[in-house]
Structure 1
Amino acid sequence: MTQTQTRTRRVHWAWIVAGVAFVALVGAAGFRAAPSVLITPLHDEFGWSTGTISAAVSINLLLYGLMSPFAAALMEKLGMRRVVAGALLLVAAGSGLTVFMTESWQLLLLWGVCVGVGTGSMALTFVATVTSRWFVKHQGLVSGILTAAGAAGQLVFLPVVAWLAEDGGWRQASLTVSFAALAVVPLVLLALRDRPEDVGTTAYGATGTDQAPPPAVDPSRAATRAVTVLRQAVKNRTFWLLAGGFAICGASTNGLIGTHFVPAAHDHGMPVTTAAGLLALVGLFDVAGTIASGWLTDKVDPRWLLGAYYSLRGLSLIVLPSLFAATTEPPMWAFIVFYGLDWVATVPPTVALTRKHFGADGPIVFGWVFASHQVGAALAAVGAGFIRDHHGGYDPAWHIAGGLCAVAAVMSLRIGSQRRAAPATAAP
């Protein structure tokens, strides 16, 4: 075998980076979701109200989204390897130190702020950064696979954390999360690389014309860069269309279904364990749906994909109230399969559109778009609860969400087909 043949068969560094990113994203999703199964154990031991404990989860969710654009800017300043390793250490500290807490404010600080900031630094902007720097070919497919890591993380970690909390107490579960985060740090330091030129190669599938120079960034002002990019992006109509649609995406997934599906099903006589099992299946089908969406993004106009995803999601939400029953019937199974396939299928085409319209600023712009996703999720979670308290049921919430999805479909289709954004914006 010649030296040339050996070189062509060698695994491209881009796939190694993608593999390490997948592991980190799986962990981030599991770490972020872990507090949801610790509410009852913490309430039983400390007597804290569910609202107090839930506040920590809410802070966690909001910071998970709001940290994204700043994390993207930090990755330009310090590099992906340092940011991701630091984020994992912060998650490990936030989770591990909870075993010593005695007051509720410590829960808000540790699970809310520390874990929220840590996991937010490994959010979907990390996906956008990896695909933008390391891939020209198969960008949509890779972004779909990495996005699916979020669902995989919840599937892997939540059952384990729940079992540990029930069998050995919540402290054992918290320490397990801490040790898992620490275990990923050496892998990140050894195998994650910031840019192709760091290892003497080019992005996967790149030609000479595809390689763009790194954006000009003042290395001392990453936060300023994130804000500066936002100030430029808000002048672009495409940004508002993407952010508005993604806010509705968050409202109709994490905020509504993720938070209120189980209590809504229980209102109709379905056992909580059965409803929770159905929600877990949504996460299972989400993996397949997101990867398929990434593959389609490489072949179909992302605007049309988003229009189809939001339209079909809206229709499914409108019919959902008629599907609830004490037992799981075939129409409900069909809803679970479809909603799982559609859950975050919107991410790969949204990443592709931000990359197309905002160029080198795309990862940071997507960070702000993703922040709108989490804000939408938070508002929907609160709003649906208010509807349930005042109307005795969730039916208006499903119908409102269905109508909003129709709005998101229209917004997606109105995105221009030509890139109009300015070149990468440097911090002053």
Structure 2
Amino acid sequence: MQATIARRLEGRLHYGWIAIAVTFLIMLITAGTRASPSVMMVPLEHDFGWSRATISLALSINLALFGLMGPFAAAAMLRFGLRRTVLVALTVLATAVAASSLMQASWQLQLIWGVVVGCATGATAMTLGATVVNRWFFQRRGLAMGLLTASSATGQLVFLPLLAALTENHGWRPVVLVVAGAAALIVPLVAWLLPERPGSVGLKPYGAAADAVEAAPVTQNPITIAFSALRRAAVTRDFWLLFFTFFVCGASTNGYIGTHFIAMCGDFGLTPVKGASILAVMGLFDLAGTTLSGWLSDRYNPRVLLCWYYGLRGLALLYLPAAFGLGVFGLPLFTMFYGLDWIATVPPTVRLTTDRFGSTDAPVIFGWIVAGHQLGAAFAALGAGLLRGSLGSYTVATWISGGLCVVAALVVLRIHRRPGVGMGAVPA
């Protein structure tokens, strides 16, 4: 079926864009799944009497495993196949989320939403996007990665207002059933329309020369692949600089705003639907900002782009505590500036990783960098919950997050990008 579609599209549309569209939907469902706990936090607190810190612990486990699964998921895609890995992950995700509608104890929350959902979503998010882009594109990698990264924003835009309304009117259980159903619906689409690689449908990667040679299949154990790539990358300063700055990225996005913003709005008298609507509008701005970031990453120095992105995000977060008291212009201003910059850091980070470590190693090494992103998210999710519990507000947590972004804006300029140099490097 895939080869037939590729032949019919020949000369009009490269099948790589179909692969991007399917991957976009996978990552959109993943984003919706990972956003749903933010609208469930207060209802779970009320229904079961669980503390904010207890719920935040489950979310921090989720965020940490989401990142730690990245390199192993990328290695599994090399060893067992991209499509097979994604199908297994989506099936596990749909089953686990549906089962969570029956939970009654906090350990079940930690197990299902912390461990199982964290591991499953780790195979269907940024690492998947980097793998698809590196397999299917030789040119336009920045634009393709920007489009895939924007799926997180679209997931918020599509899911959050709906899930918040469901929670407000019917409780948290319908939320998990809707999310589980969405994950199940995408499974047949992946089976029908996502080929393993361009050679599977008789094509070369987009923009590759006619005599380009496809990488040989990998037969090593995925754990060996993941740790071998880490060993090669860990001896370089650039890897640790990328790891640290992406740690800050995760702490200031998924970990803090993505997890706690709706609850923070509640502290100022805003309903969950209102808070979710603000996040959805941020997603709309991010859809534009991240797509533009991908386009810019193909044309300009990614270090300079990252310096601007982290710096502006830090200023927006430092402004946020005051925004709630500035009336009609306070939150809209934050929503616009923070939204444009939400995850615009991903395309230039992927480009730096590919330029430095080569297109073969890049997806696995980027997986380890994503692990840093999600460790940062876990740190912020748990830390913000603890600070809110002890201080009664999110102000200090917001200032810490903004300050880290300002530091990252300076650190990222020290990354020494050297195209064509590194471990089997291939020009981006």
Paired position in structure 2 for 1:134: 136
Written as runs of structure 1 = structure 2, the 5 A alignment for 1:149-298 is: 149-208=151-210, 211=212, 213-214=214-215, 217-219=218-220, 221-264=221-264, 267=267, 274-298=274-298
Paired position in structure 2 for 1:13: 15
Question: CA offsets per residue over residues 185-229 of structure 1, 9 Å max, x none?
Answer: 1110111012111111100111147x354266334x102211111
CA-CA distance at 1:114 after TM superposition: 1.9
Q: Is the 8 A contact 2:56 2:382 kept in 1?
A: no
Paired position in structure 1 for 2:423: 422
Change (3 A) 1:389 1:182: closer
Paired position in structure 2 for 1:116: 118
Q: Is the 8 A contact 2:60 2:379 kept in 1?
A: no
Q: Is the 8 A contact 1:252 1:401 kept in 2?
A: yes
CA-CA distance at 1:386 after TM superposition: 4.4
Match of 1:71 among 64, 73, 94: 73
Change (3 A) 1:299 1:338: same
Q: Is the 8 A contact 1:36 1:57 kept in 2?
A: no
Q: Amino acid of the residue matched to residue 25 of structure 1?
A: M
Counterpart-to-counterpart distance in 2, 1:374 and 1:167: 32
Give me the TM-score of the superposition, normalised by structure 2: 0.89
Paired position in structure 2 for 1:308: 308
Paired position in structure 2 for 1:33: 35
CA-CA distance at 1:271 after TM superposition: 6.0
Change (3 A) 1:145 1:247: same
Counterpart check, 1:350 vs 2:349: yes
Q: Is the 8 A contact 2:63 2:255 kept in 1?
A: no
CA-CA distance at 1:169 after TM superposition: 4.7
Q: Is the 8 A contact 2:251 2:378 kept in 1?
A: yes
Change (3 A) 1:40 1:249: closer
Q: Amino acid of the residue matched to residue 110 of structure 1?
A: I
CA-CA distance at 1:31 after TM superposition: 1.6
Counterpart-to-counterpart distance in 2, 1:90 and 1:6: 34
CA-CA distance at 1:387 after TM superposition: 4.3
Paired position in structure 2 for 1:91: 93
Q: Amino acid of the residue matched to residue 410 of structure 1?
A: L
Question: CA offsets per residue over residues 249-278 of structure 1, 9 Å max, x none?
Answer: 112222333344455555566666544433
Q: Is the 8 A contact 2:27 2:124 kept in 1?
A: yes
Q: Amino acid of the residue matched to residue 215 of structure 2?
A: P
CA-CA distance at 1:36 after TM superposition: 3.0
Change (3 A) 1:358 1:195: same
Q: Is the 8 A contact 1:289 1:340 kept in 2?
A: yes
Change (3 A) 1:69 1:263: same
Q: Is the 8 A contact 2:142 2:295 kept in 1?
A: yes
Q: Is the 8 A contact 2:57 2:382 kept in 1?
A: no
Paired position in structure 1 for 2:336: 337
CA-CA distance at 1:159 after TM superposition: 2.6
Change (3 A) 1:316 1:100: closer
Counterpart-to-counterpart distance in 1, 2:278 and 2:164: 16
Q: Is the 8 A contact 2:53 2:382 kept in 1?
A: no
Change (3 A) 1:296 1:87: same
Change (3 A) 1:180 1:272: closer
Change (3 A) 1:164 1:403: closer
Q: Amino acid of the residue matched to residue 217 of structure 1?
A: V
Q: Amino acid of the residue matched to residue 342 of structure 1?
A: D
Give me the TM-score of the superposition, normalised by structure 1: 0.89
Paired position in structure 1 for 2:4: none
**SS of equivalent residue, structure 1 residue 75:** helix
Counterpart-to-counterpart distance in 1, 2:100 and 2:284: 30
Paired position in structure 2 for 1:56: 58
CA-CA distance at 1:117 after TM superposition: 1.4
Change (3 A) 1:93 1:102: same
Counterpart-to-counterpart distance in 2, 1:75 and 1:370: 16
Q: Amino acid of the residue matched to residue 83 of structure 1?
A: T
Change (3 A) 1:23 1:86: same
Change (3 A) 1:312 1:172: closer
Q: Is the 8 A contact 2:127 2:366 kept in 1?
A: yes
CA-CA distance at 1:329 after TM superposition: 3.1
Structure 1 unaligned regions, length at least 5: none
**SS of equivalent residue, structure 1 residue 344:** coil
Q: Is the 8 A contact 2:52 2:385 kept in 1?
A: no
Counterpart-to-counterpart distance in 1, 2:116 and 2:28: 18
Q: Is the 8 A contact 1:91 1:115 kept in 2?
A: yes
CA-CA distance at 1:112 after TM superposition: 2.3
Change (3 A) 1:261 1:110: closer
Q: Amino acid of the residue matched to residue 353 of structure 1?
A: L
Q: Amino acid of the residue matched to residue 366 of structure 1?
A: F
CA-CA distance at 1:106 after TM superposition: 2.7
Q: Amino acid of the residue matched to residue 218 of structure 2?
A: V
Change (3 A) 1:153 1:270: closer
Q: Is the 8 A contact 1:65 1:123 kept in 2?
A: no
Structure 2 unaligned regions, length at least 5: 1-6
CA-CA distance at 1:49 after TM superposition: 4.4
Counterpart-to-counterpart distance in 1, 2:152 and 2:52: 26
**Worse-superposed segment, 26-35 or 362-371:** 26-35
Change (3 A) 1:214 1:158: same
